[in-house]
Structure formats: structure tokens, C-alpha cells
Amino acid sequence: MLRTEGLGYWYQDKEQPLFQDINLEFEEGQSYAILGHSGTGKTTFLSLIAGLDKPREGDIFLNDRSLKQIGLTNYRRHDVAIVFQAYNLFNYMSPLNNLLTAMAITDASHAGDRGYAQRVLNDLGIGDDLITRNVQRLSGGQQQRVAIARTMCCDAKLVVADEPTGNLDEDNTKEVIDQFQRIAHEQQKCVIIVTHEPDVAARCDHQYRLENKQFVRLA
Amino acid sequence: MNFFKRAWLNVWAKKGRSVLLILVSSAILMFVLAGLLIRSAAVKATETAKTDAGATMTLSANRQAAFKKMQSSSSSSSSKSSRPKLTLTPVKLSDAKSIAKLSNIKNYNVTSSTTANAKSYDTVSTSTGMGGNSSGGPGGMKSTSSSSGDTQIDGVTSTALTTDFTDSQSKITKGRGIKASDKGTNNVVIEKELASQNNLTVGDTMTIKETTGSKSTLKVKVVGIYKASSTSSASAGPMSTDPANTIYASYTLANTIKGSKYAGTADSVTFNVTNPAKASATKKAGNKLISSKYSLSTDDSSYQSIKASMNNVEGFANKIVWLVAIAGTIILALIVILMIRERRFEIGVLLSLGEARWKIVAQFFTEMLMVIVIALAIAGVGGKFVGNQLGSQLVSQSTTTQTTSSGTSSQPGGGGQPGGSGGSGMRGGAGGPGSTTSSAKTKNPDLEIAVSAVDLAELGGFGLAITFLSIMIASGGILRLEPKKILIS
Ligand SMILES: Nc1ncnc2c1ncn2[C@@H]1O[C@H](COP(=O)(O)OP(=O)(O)OP(=O)(O)O)[C@@H](O)[C@H]1O
Ligand SMILES: [Mg+2]
């Protein structure tokens, strides 16, 4: 589904790229974990496949169409859903309105369907008492679940997350990873998670480690 | 359009911030409105000044020509008299009538002055003790008679048309003023002090005595009593009679006292001009109708001074409008820039969802628009107040400027006016009675500050422009923001 070809990126110095000549493939219905030491370029890599930045070298293909062809804004709107470590939500809205807003912007097939958004939230343990409350009055774990619910409501087949459990305790972490697994297996989406935590990585279908400018596949 | 909903949700959820923005915007718009109000009031006041202050054109004997004639005659026969006499030809009323037919002439006032002596009553003597009953004015400038009486007779067509009355320096307190229909009658209007000193009231008769010719006596009937203001008595020179001894009558009565050869003449005729802006063109047209023995002079100084001071106010108001608009745009732009920085995560999420940048700008614009609409309403109420305060301040300031410059009788520069106050000391002089001499006491029109639909529309335009510009300036930040920034933070 998603394929990188000779992907390379550097910030200032071309001679010191973060990674180089990366050729990877990600499939629908599978979850992938990306591990690596701090500062190796995991977030940078994620920003490229999320369409938030352009590669310096090589190209990324979605179903054999290059992102350049698709256009980054268009790609972000229709093909990829992103979960950040924090600040995922519109802080002046309720969980329900956050979902409805994202569905409207991304032209999701369920756009405007409050009932659908409500069911998805309920499914993730955001009860009816919480869904119309301002998101700032939700716990970190609840907020992160709302962000995950958002990716479930939108049609994008690719879901990327940058340390989505970085701010969460053990129980919430487990809960969130379960949801990502459901997205991959039940919704048949491709989930790519950057994480520091080996436990989190272990629960994904595939694991990669970024070291020495290369992605190394772990057993 | 999803951004409308987002804008509304944001404005509603962040009420505190919205209220602050509304307050700042109201303050800015209030000053813009104050400027707009003062400007439109100044424009209106200038319009009114055209008709109210008006301009006058005076037909009188050509002093220059007469003076030349006198000089030449005195040089040719210098032995005859040590003191050559200046003979001024009285104005013919037929000339006045033909000038009055010009299109820009509203109406006219004939003035003919003379003096007479009191017979059945006592004249008022000036309280300073300086006033004798002897002299009518400084020097032998009088054209009408060489010997002067103790009572000044100001013959007019209508007292309502004389400057003293139009300026409200004199006011009718009892009875009525002299009217055009008093022509040929012996009706007079006397001063309050003279009336009370002699126990005279409306309906009484009094007797005066001519100073020349047969020196016959004349019975006149009091039809009205007027009160001269203290200003007019203060302006009288030490040698003149007390102003209270001035009696207004029809010009025909004054002519009768002067003598039969003065019938159908006048010292001067003052025409009120309809459109002061065209006064000089009217003067040109009028000059074609009269002989060189006479001259026409225009006085639009009060119009000019009002125009000048209102132009000042208008110019100042314009500057306020633009300064406040520019400053307001900068202030709002800075606030919006700060707001955008604070909302960079939200912008990052929107961009990561694939939202178009222009729609994000549109959301901010819509939010500001909601704020501005409420601010407009507040400013509409408050601007009138600020405008009133500022307006009265401005007018009193420009009046001060005027008084200063008229005291030095300067050119009309910087809101000043040509001084004319020197003339009012010359009562009974060559220009005729005070009615023809321009008085410098131009009343500045009060600025009428009222909020009209046009003002509000203009304010709305400014509000929109300020909002639009400040969002445009600030949107550089939105357009430059990379969604990746919120990933790596
Ligand atoms: N905008 C930037 N300009 C220059 N250098 C940058 C920029 N963003 C990141 N870097 C550098 O690039 C390297 C990779 O950054 P990146 O955020 O991708 O690392 P990471 O693997 O996600 O690290 P972490 O695990 O700590 O999140 C780091 O050394 C970082 O300092
Ligand atoms: Mg990172």
C-alpha cells in the first residue's frame, strides 16, 4: 500500500543525512512499530510519510501513485490520519465536535453523522457524559482515545502516530494500543507507530529500528 | 462551510478572550467613528455657514474717487480753504434696486444715518463720563452733516437685516423692530436705557429737533424697544455718543431729517448674498450697473472664517480617522499575530487534516468579524459621546485661534480671519452706521454630532478594512506555519 523508494532526509548538512536510501513497504491490515534512540530521525521519517514534509531524496508511493502526484494537502485530507503525542484536538470543542470537524474537513463518508461519531466514541470508552464536554476537561488518556476515534471516523487508510502513548500510564497505554490493533485488523488500515517503549512495539505486527541511517527489521 | 462553525465554536468557547477583543475593537472603532462624526459635522456646519453666516455686499460712495477729487481741487485752489472737504455722493436707491435684481442677492438693507437733537427727552450720557452729547464719531468723516446732534438716527429698511441684530448684539425686547413697511412713517425703535430714563414705552411719542436746515422739530412714535449688548457699548470710542442714544428708524425718516435733496438716497445699501462662494462674481456683475462715483465692496469674512475653521476641524477629523484606522489595524494585527502563535497547535492539526490554508485564514477572519460586528454596535453608541467631547474641544480651540488672529487683524491663515473689529469703532463714519461695517464676532457653528446611517456604514467599512488588513498581515504567520512543527515540539 505505502512504499518508500530511496528515501533520504537531512536538515542542514547533506553529508550528514538522518537516513538514506530507505526502501520500505507497509501493508493494509497490518500494524508497524518504529523504534530508535532519541534524535535518530523517527519523527522526521513519520512526517514524510504523513505528508507533512517533502523528502530530500527518493519518493513515497501510495498504491503506486507518488505523493507529489497526489499533492500533499490532498494526501493529508484523504489518505492519512495522524495522531500526535499531544495537542491532537481542537481545545475549544467537545469530543463529538472534534470528530465531526475532522470528518467534515476530510470529506469522510460518515461526514455529518453524529450518531456514528457518538458510537465510535462510546466504543472507545468515551461515555455520553463526556462527548459534549470540552476536551480540555478530559484526562490525557481520554484525549488520546478521542484522537484515535478521530482516525477511525475518517476514511484514510493510513494511520500514523508519533509516540501516542508517551504521556500515558500503563493501563491507558494498553488500552490505546488495543485500539490501534483494532484499527489495523478490524478496519483493515495500515497503522504505523513511532514509540520508545519496547512493550508497545512488541504488540504491533511488525517492528523496525532506525539506527545508522537505516531501518532494520526486527525479528 | 466548516470554518464558519469552527469560528463560532471558538468565539463562543473562549468568551473571555472574545470579550477582550470586542473591547479593544470597540475602542478603536469608537475613535474612528468620532473622527467620522466630527468630519461630517464639520462638512454640514460649513454648508450651514454658507447660508447662515452669508456674505454681504455694500454699495456706498466711492471714497477713493472722492478723495482724489478732493485732493485735486485742494491743490488747484489751495488758498480757498485750509481744510478741504471730502464730498461723498449719496447712493441712489434706483441703483440699489437694479443690483437687487441680480440672481445671487437674497435681500437688501438701505441705511441712511444722521443725527438729531433731543427735544422731548434727555439723552443717556456715558457712565465713564467721557461721552459728550456733541460728537457723532471721530473726525470730520461724516458725509451727511457737519453739525451733529446728540441723538444718532440710524435709518434702515429693516432692523432685522442690520448686523447688530443679526449678530444678536442688539435685541428687540418690547414691541417690534423697524420693517420695510415702516417706510415713510415716523416710527422708531429706541434703546432700553433711553426708554427707561425717559419713561418711554411702546406707543409713546417723542420729539426730536433737526440739526440742519430749518431746524424744525419732528414727532416720532416708539414702536419698539431694543437692548444693545455691553459689547456694542464697549466698542464705542470715547468721542462717540453713548450707544443708547441710537434710534432706529426707517431710512426715509433719516433722509427727511437730512433734507429734501436726500430723498431717494442712502449712505449705503447692504445686500445679503445667497451663496457667499459666488460673492465676488456678483460684485463684478453689480459694478457694471453703477457709475464710478459709487463702489461695491463685499464682505464674506464671516463665511470665510467659518469655512477656514471648519476646514481645520474637518482636516483634523480626517487625520484622526486615518491615524486611528492605521493604529487600530496595527494593534489588531499584533493581537491576531499573538493569537495565532498561541493557536499554532490548532493550526497544525487543521493542516494535518488537510484543511486548505485559505480556509484557516477565513476562520480567523470570521471570528474577528463576529467580534467587529458587536464592537460596531458598541462603538455606535460610544462614538457619539467621544465625538461630542472631541468636537466641542476642537471648536473652542479653533475659536481661540481665530480671536487671536483677528486681534492682530491678520490674513486668513491657519484658521484665522481678516480682522474687522476695528470697523465697529467707527460708528457713523464713512461706511455708514455699524450695520454696514462687518463685525468680527463670527459665531462658530456648534458641531452637531449625530450618528447617521451613512456614518455607520462608513464605520462598518473601516471596521471591515481594519479586520481584513490585520488578518492579512497576521496570516503570513498562518501561511508560513509548517504542520511538522507541531510534531517536533
Ligand atoms: N527543524 C529542524 N532543524 C534542524 N534540525 C532538526 C529539526 N528538527 C529536528 N532536527 C534534528 O534532527 C534530528 C532528528 O529529529 P527527530 O525529531 O526526527 O528525532 P526523533 O527520532 O523523533 O527523536 P525523539 O525520539 O527524541 O523524538 C535531531 O537531531 C534533531 O535535533
Ligand atoms: Mg520524535
Find the CATH number of the domain harbouring A16: 3.40.50.300
Write out pLDDT tens, residues B354-376. 999 999 999 999 999 999 999 99
Ligand number, closest to the Cα atom of A40: 1
**What is the average pLDDT across B475-489?**
77
A58 within domain boundaries: yes
DSSP per residue over B25-53, as a string? HHHHHHHHHHHHHHHHHHHHHHHHHHHHT
Q: Which one-letter DSSP state was computed for residue A160?
A: E
Q: Would you state the pLDDT for residue A215?
A: 94
Q: In angstroms, what is the span from residue A112 Cα to ligand 2's centroid? A: 34
pLDDT at residue A34 greater than cutoff 90: yes
User: Number of folded domains in chain A?
Assistant: 2
Cβ neighbour number for residue B146 with a 10 Å cutoff: 10
Instruction: Say if residues B57 and B275 touch (Cβ distance below 8 Å).
Output: no
Coil, strand, or helix at residue B413? coil
**CB-CB: which of A73, A90, A97 is closest to B356?**
A73
**Which residues have CB under 6 Å of ligand 1?**
A 11, 18, 36, 38-44; B 488
**pLDDT band per the 50, 70, 90 thresholds, residue B394:** low
Say what the pTM is. 0.68
A137 within domain boundaries: yes
- Give the containing element (helix H, strand E) for B166: helix B163-166
Residue A74 and residue A10 share a domain: yes
Residue B144 CA to residue B114 CA, distance in Å, equals: 6
Write out pLDDT tens, residues B184-233. 999 999 999 999 999 999 999 999 998 877 788 999 999 999 998 864 44
| Shortest alpha-carbon distance between residue A107 and chain B (Å) | 10
Site from B6, B18, B353 to mutate, A interface, most A CB atoms within 10 angstroms: B353
Ligand number, closest to the Cα atom of A52: 1
Contact assignment for B484 to A47 by CB distance below 8 Å: yes
Burial B454-483 (b: 16+ CB within 10 A, else e): ebbebbeebbbebbebbbebbbebbeebeb
Residue A7 CA, distance from chain mean position: 19
Q: Would you state the pLDDT for residue B439?
A: 38
Site from A9, A76, A114 to mutate, B interface, most B CB atoms within 10 angstroms: A76
pLDDT at residue B84 greater than cutoff 90: no
Q: Would you state the pLDDT for residue B208?
A: 92
Instruction: Say if residues B229 and B170 touch (Cβ distance below 8 Å).
Output: yes
Write out pLDDT tens, residues B255-296. 998 888 888 899 999 998 888 888 888 889 988 888 888 888
Residue A162 and residue A71 share a domain: yes
Helices (H), chain A: 42-49, 67-70, 72-78, 95-105, 114-123, 140-153, 170-185, 198-202
Atom of ligand 1 nearest to the CA of A163: 27
Cell 435733496, residue located: B261
The domains of chain B are located at 3-48+307-406+446-488, 55-76+85-299
Residue A9 and residue A56 share a domain: yes
Q: Determine the angle formed by the axes of helices B2-13 and A95-105, rounding to 10 degrees.
A: 150
Instruction: Say if residues B307 and B140 touch (Cβ distance below 8 Å).
Output: no
pLDDT at residue B2 greater than cutoff 80: yes
More confident residue, B440 or A111: A111
Q: Would you state the pLDDT for residue B431?
A: 33
DSSP per residue over B259-295, as a string? -GGGTTEESEEEEEES-GGGHHHHHHHHHTTS-TTEE
Q: Would you state the pLDDT for residue A208?
A: 95
Q: Is A93 on the interface with B (CB under 8 A)?
A: yes
Identity of the amino acid at B249: A
Q: Determine the angle formed by the axes of helices B15-52 and B357-407, rounding to 10 degrees.
A: 40
| Shortest alpha-carbon distance between residue B48 and chain A (Å) | 55
Q: Determine the angle formed by the axes of helices B2-13 and B357-407, rounding to 10 degrees.
A: 60
pLDDT at residue A219 greater than cutoff 80: no
Residue A161 and residue A63 share a domain: yes
Radius of gyration over alpha carbons of chain A, in Å? 17
Cβ neighbour number for residue B253 with a 10 Å cutoff: 27
Contact assignment for B483 to A134 by CB distance below 8 Å: no
Residue B113 CA to residue B141 CA, distance in Å, equals: 13
Burial A168-207 (b: 16+ CB within 10 A, else e): beeebbebbbebbebbbeeeebbbbbbbebeebbebbeeb
CB contact set of A106 (below 8 Å; sequence gap of 6+):
A77, A78, A81, A154, A155, A156, B353, B354
Q: Which of A189, A183, A188 is nearest to A79 (CA)?
A: A189
Most confident of A7-11, B90-94, B410-414, B456-460: A7-11
A26 within domain boundaries: yes
Q: Considering only the C-alpha atoms of chain B, give the largest distance between any 2 of them, rounded to a whole number of Å.
A: 115
- With 0-12 / 13-18 / 19 or more C-beta atoms within 10 angstroms meaning exposed / middle / buried, residue B24 is middle
Range of the domain at A145: 94-150
Q: In angstroms, what is the span from residue A83 Cα to ligand 2's centroid? A: 13
Q: Which of B333, B365, B334, B338 is nearest to B7 (CA)?
A: B365
- Give the strands of the sheet with A206-211, arranged side by side: A80-83, A158-162, A190-194, A31-35, A206-211, A214-217
Write out pLDDT tens, residues B420-473. 333 333 333 333 333 333 334 445 556 667 777 888 888 889 888 888 888 888
Whether this model's ipTM surpasses 0.85 comes out as yes
Write out pLDDT tens, residues B38-69. 788 778 777 776 666 678 889 988 888 777 77
Q: Would you state the pLDDT for residue B168?
A: 84
More confident residue, B115 or B415: B115
Q: Would you state the pLDDT for residue B127?
A: 55
**Three cell numbers, residue A214:** 537505516
Residue nearest to atom 3 of ligand 1 (CA): A11
Residue A163 and residue A109 share a domain: no
**pLDDT band per the 50, 70, 90 thresholds, residue B77:** low
Residue B29 CA to residue B42 CA, distance in Å, equals: 20
Write out pLDDT tens, residues B102-147. 888 888 999 999 999 989 998 887 654 444 444 444 443 433 444 5
Residue A112 CA to residue B421 CA, distance in Å, equals: 80
pLDDT at residue B85 greater than cutoff 70: no
β-pairing verdict for A190-194 and A158-162: parallel
Q: In angstroms, what is the span from residue A46 Cα to ligand 2's centroid? A: 9
Q: Which one-letter DSSP state was computed for residue B456?
A: H
Nearest CA in chain B to A111: B2
Residue A102 and residue A11 share a domain: no
A172 within domain boundaries: yes
Q: Would you state the pLDDT for residue A154?
A: 93
Average pLDDT, chain B: 78
**Three cell numbers, residue A1:** 500500500
Q: Which of B89, B71, B124, B52 is nearest to B306 (CA)?
A: B52
**pLDDT band per the 50, 70, 90 thresholds, residue A42:** very high
**CB-CB: which of A43, A89, A93 is closest to B9?**
A93
Identity of the amino acid at B357: R
Q: Is A135 on the interface with B (CB under 8 A)?
A: no
Contact assignment for A52 to B482 by CB distance below 8 Å: yes
**What is the average pLDDT across A134-153?**
92
Residue A138 and residue A102 share a domain: yes
Q: Would you state the pLDDT for residue B454?
A: 83
Q: Is A202 on the interface with B (CB under 8 A)?
A: no
Interface list for chain B against chain A, based on CB atoms closer than 8 Å: 2, 5-6, 9-10, 13-14, 345-346, 348-356, 482-484, 486-488
Q: Cα angle at A205 between A201 and A210, to 5 degrees?
A: 50
Of A134, A150, A166, which marks where a domain is finished?
A: A150
pLDDT at residue B337 greater than cutoff 80: yes
**What is the average pLDDT across B465-489?**
81
Q: Which of B389, B225, B406 is nearest to B309 (CA)?
A: B406
**pLDDT band per the 50, 70, 90 thresholds, residue B486:** confident
Residue B420 CA to residue A75 CA, distance in Å, equals: 82
